[in-house]
Amino acid sequence: MSSWELPVALLSGAAAGGGLHLFVSELLPATPALGPALNRLQPPDDSATAGERTAQALGGWGFVVRFLTVPTRDLAILAMGTDAYLSSLVLSAATAFFLPAVVTLLLRMAGYQVALLLPVGIGLLTAAGAAYLAHRDVTRRAKVARAEFARAFCTYVDLVVLEMAAAGPVQSLERAARIGHGWVYDRINNALLQAQLEMRFPWEHLRKLGHQTQVTELHDLAAIMQSAGNEGAQVHTTLQEHAQSMRERLRTDQLARAEQVSAQLEMPAALLVIVLAFFMIYPLMARI
């Protein structure tokens, strides 16, 4: 047996065994994560900072969080745990780090002499790039989720306005949340249910959800409904104006995004015109 056949056989067996283990583990029913569910039903401890609570909850990942800025609000809007976020970064970096080593091994098997330090240096660069891309993917998905949340929230405010004609502010928020479907309404329903279990006003948890997910529209609705619940103010017209302003803001953002995309398409169109003009003029210039 050649010197390279044994390492290749070991790596192949380890990859096959790991893939079989992952396949079987996905088929087996997962154990419910009761700890995070119970933690969501309890008010957070204000004596500890957000970073300390995150480090305590992650256990082994805690030392990483102390030296890494975790986008907690982006993770909150995606309903993604910090542990899953860090795992995605590590997995992306590890995959990108070992990829140059695999390519180098294949080249050495083919007879090419490649320095061993080369894949290490390239692996470090690709690992950093892969981790950065994984982080940017989370921020991009969070931005898209916030835009989707704002669009669905406009409809929710309209439903609250309709319910205010026959019910109080608390009942209007709860009934409107039960009408809609989708992940946005699920998040609002969970916040309202948590308020019921803790015997608090619903606008307090709506404001808390807006702070966690960085959705400013939730803060505005919470302030309006709080004035209606505590002071008995008539907020029917205020809610309608608030929904209309949100639609105008979304319309302005969509127009700005469309103009940005149109501006990005001008350069490829100009290059295409230049190429076509070159192919039309070149035959005439070649005859001269």
For 10-65, write each residue's pLDDT tens digit: 777 777 777 787 777 777 776 666 666 666 555 444 434 444 444 444 444 445 54
- Residue 137: the pLDDT is 92
How far apart, in whole angstroms, are the C-alpha atoms of residue 249 and residue 157? 15
In sequence order, the 6+-apart residues with CB closer than 8 A to the CB of 187 are 79, 149, 209, 213
Flag whether pLDDT at 177 surpasses 50: yes
**pLDDT given for residue 106 in this prediction:** 78
User: How many C-beta atoms lie closer than 10 Å to residue 41's C-beta?
Assistant: 11
Q: Enumerate residues 6+ apart whose C-beta is below 8 A from 7.
A: 105
CA nearest to 123, candidates 86, 147, 95: 95
What is the average per-residue pLDDT within 73-93?
86
